[in-house]
Amino acid sequence: MQFNKKALALAIIAFSQPAFAEKADDMEHLTIFGTEQVINDIPGSAHRISQEEIEKFDFSDIMRTLTSVPGVYILEEDGYGLRPNIGMRGTGQNRSEKVTIMEDNVLAAPAPYAAPSAYYFPTSGRMQQIEVLKGTSSAMYGPRTTGGVVNLLSRQIPEQAFAGELKLAAGQDGFAKLHGYVGGEGKNVASVFEVYRYQADGFKDVNHSDTDTGFVKNDVMAKVRINSDSSAKYYQELEMKLKYSDEDSDETYMGITAADFDSDPYSRYSASQLDNMNTEHKQLQLNHFIQLSPRLTLGSSAYYNDFARNWYKVSKIGGKSLGSGGIELAAQFDENPTVEPLSVDIKANNREYLSKGIQTVLEADLNEHQVKFGARYHEDEMDRFQWVDKYQLDSAYNMTLSSAGAPGTDSNRIDSAEAFALFVHDEYTVGDFIVNAGLRYEDMTIERHDWGKNDVGRDGIPSHKKNDVDVLLPSLAVTYKLSEELVLLGGVQKGFAPPAPGNEDSDNEESINYELGARYTLGAFNGEAIAFYSDYENMHGNCTASQGCEDDNIGNQYNAGEVEVSGLEIKAGYQFTLEQFTLPVDLTYTFTETEFLNDFSSKLDTWGDVVKGDELPYVPENQIQLTVGIEGEKWRSDILVRYMGEMRTEAGQGNIATDDLIDSRTVVDLAARYSIDQQQEVSLTVDNLLDEEYVSSKTHGSIMVGKPQSITLGYSFSF
């Protein structure tokens, strides 16, 4: 397109100043569903994880929280959820790159267009609510619209004049957590301040070393809101949100061999003793709301996210990459050290990210038609300035620096994006039918400027690659109220993901996605079943270190061509009421089938050389979760049983080879709470109650292990 996208976007947003609801708790622009909207009225798959549900098990790991939603796949890595891998409907989970992640309705990935792999993820433990949309329900949100949307809602300002809460927890492996907030609202000014800190020493032990394998993570947030008098002609609110977080974690990409998993599953090789991730995230978000009339509201948000991280981790051992023999060399050296030191290359994966933009949504109540008009202008970038330090690991298992790398001599480039999006969505009610029709337009420019390894000062002219992409994404969904209890639904939408910055010849990822299902509610029972089918014209595979990829290929993107993904999502719940107790029961089930429809070759460890008929890796055919609770007047206890079927780690078909197999597993979690009085509560949680030892993933040809049994005691005081 030839026009100035930024100027047009700002003009549209300036014309349609923001609008939301009449009270802070009803800030519709921060939620996808709206505070009063009934899930039954939403087209397609939609789930709201309430504050009460979040607090049952009080997970700090977003992946354990999201397993209650059908059609969601998770891939554990560090055991604490520090770097979540989330997929939906067969999209693949690697760094949640195929899912649109938002906090308070604003894009949350460090660079969602230029570098979507989310090495930053909002701290889920401080969230009050989580919204998950898939299929036609997610059509309004981009840039990735095939899988779905996860929108995390942060702490809202308390309605009381003064209120707060303090939570403390301590558990095994040095786990500790402090979570507190305080705030309140007056007539025209309101605020809240929140602190969340959690840490652990880690459940793994580095061989021949006292090095911890844990983490410390801090998250601080403040909100201040100014609002007009409720009697004002045009009620308005202006809210400022400030957030800061940091992390220091001794995490690695080095797994262990199958033999070592059998003998000592929670060990780590001594070559990984210096591996460390250090991050810092800063955010500013301004939200403005105005009630233009009883039927017309508008809401706008301006946002700025600055994220920096350096993951200092082993890349080669004895001159070999981790996936090409390096892991085996590390294992052998720990077992039988030689007199001659073992060379270890540690790469400083140093990157800075910037994401900023402004967005607005105008909502109009036109009786039978509920219409939304939206616009967003967005810019983001990732600046890679990396180097490699060389060490010697001696027979006493000490690491000595032999050669310090110069910053910028490993990777020295900037990937950037500029994007403008428009959407219109109409919800039309006629009798017992609700028709949802939407159209989203995205125009984006994605670029890469690469100075190479010899121009660390960036004085010369960089190589330049550029992708200009524009796309129209229609969606249509229908719900039909067959009776007061039964609602039928169906829809179709076009899915999309843009090409990577460095691949000028790469096609868009495009698909047509279908779903058909029903929701049923009667008394204490609620349930839904939705069948889905995604027909990819082209699927992307992105080469990242996290899934296993040689250094020279990291950042490359591969086209898989035609792919089919289909499945069934079921969720049901019932609350039994006895004389003195209530027994809530909740069941979630996901069935998935995947298939590549053509032959091709790639340098992704997880794809490799694909033959028509191969299944996608890391997509289990069956997932089941059952939660059963018992609740008395002052106490409750819940048990969660989570089953994940076997899955392959590399594309293939038929019986899965042992080296490519992750066995099925069943993990049980337990939570119990007792209210001392109206203000105080004590809790006990046990993750992995039966202490199941299991393989969570296989990266670089080695095994990453799931978290063992972990017992935590907690106390909370609210006022």
Could you tell me the pTM of the whole model?
Answer: 0.93
Mean pLDDT of 616-631: 97
Output the pLDDT for position 591. Answer: 98
For residue 2, is pLDDT > 50? no
- Residue 8 has phi, psi (to 5 degrees) of -65, -45
Mean pLDDT of 214-233: 96
Q: Quick: pLDDT tens for 146-166.
A: 889 999 999 999 999 999 999
CB 396: neighbour CB atoms within 10 A? Answer: 9
For residue 297, is pLDDT > 90? yes
* Four-point Cα dihedral 691, 695, 700, 702, nearest 10: 70
Q: What is the DSSP letter of 29?
A: G
Q: Quick: pLDDT tens for 114-150.
A: 988 868 899 999 999 999 999 887 778 889 888 899 9
pLDDT band at 500 (very low <50, low <70, confident <90, very high): confident
Output the pLDDT for position 505. Answer: 67
- Residue 662 has phi, psi (to 5 degrees) of -115, 115
Q: Quick: pLDDT tens for 83-95.
A: 999 999 988 888 8
Pull the structure tokens for residue 580.
Answer: 């003195």
- Residue 302 has phi, psi (to 5 degrees) of -110, 140
Distance between CA atoms of 69 and 67, rounded to whole angstroms? 5
For residue 190, is pLDDT > 90? yes
Name the helix (H) or strand (E) containing 430. Answer: strand 411-430
* DSSP three-state, residue 563: strand
For residue 545, is pLDDT > 80? no
For residue 549, is pLDDT > 90? no
pLDDT band at 550 (very low <50, low <70, confident <90, very high): low
Lowest mean pLDDT among 357-366, 453-462, 694-703: 694-703
Output the pLDDT for position 7. Answer: 52
Mean pLDDT of 90-112: 91
Output the pLDDT for position 608. Answer: 87
CA 94 to centroid of chain Cα atoms: 10
Output the pLDDT for position 32. Answer: 73
Output the pLDDT for position 473. Answer: 95
pLDDT band at 18 (very low <50, low <70, confident <90, very high): very low
**How many residues can be counted in the chain?**
719
Output the pLDDT for position 117. Answer: 80
- What is the overall mean pLDDT for the chain? 92
Distance between CA atoms of 711 and 243, rounded to whole angstroms? 30
Distance between CA atoms of 645 and 619, rounded to whole angstroms? 9
Output the pLDDT for position 504. Answer: 65
The share of the chain scoring above pLDDT 90, in percent, equals: 82
Output the pLDDT for position 647. Answer: 96
CA 672 to centroid of chain Cα atoms: 27
Output the pLDDT for position 714. Answer: 98
pLDDT band at 5 (very low <50, low <70, confident <90, very high): low
The share of the chain scoring above pLDDT 70, in percent, equals: 93
pLDDT band at 502 (very low <50, low <70, confident <90, very high): confident
Mean pLDDT of 300-308: 98
Output the pLDDT for position 44. Answer: 79
For residue 610, is pLDDT > 50? yes
For residue 552, is pLDDT > 80? no
Residue 284 carries which side chain, given as an amino acid letter? Answer: L
User: Is residue 407 a contact partner of residue 347, using CB atoms and an 8 Å limit?
Assistant: no
For residue 11, is pLDDT > 70? no
| Dihedral of alpha carbons 139, 109, 77, 49, sign | negative
Assign a CATH topology to domain 5-718.
Answer: Maltoporin; Chain A (2.40.170)
For residue 259, is pLDDT > 80? yes
Residue 700 carries which side chain, given as an amino acid letter? Answer: H
Please give the C-alpha separations between residue 691 and each of 67, 595, 694, in angstroms, as whole numbers: 19, 34, 9
Mean pLDDT of 353-382: 96
Please give the C-alpha separations between residue 510 and each of 280, 375, 556, 559, in angstroms, as whole numbers: 34, 22, 18, 11
User: Is residue 543 a contact partner of residue 554, using CB atoms and an 8 Å limit?
Assistant: yes
Q: Quick: pLDDT tens for 639-695.
A: 999 999 999 999 999 999 999 999 999 999 999 999 999 999 999 999 999 999 999
Pull the structure tokens for residue 199.
Answer: 């840490």
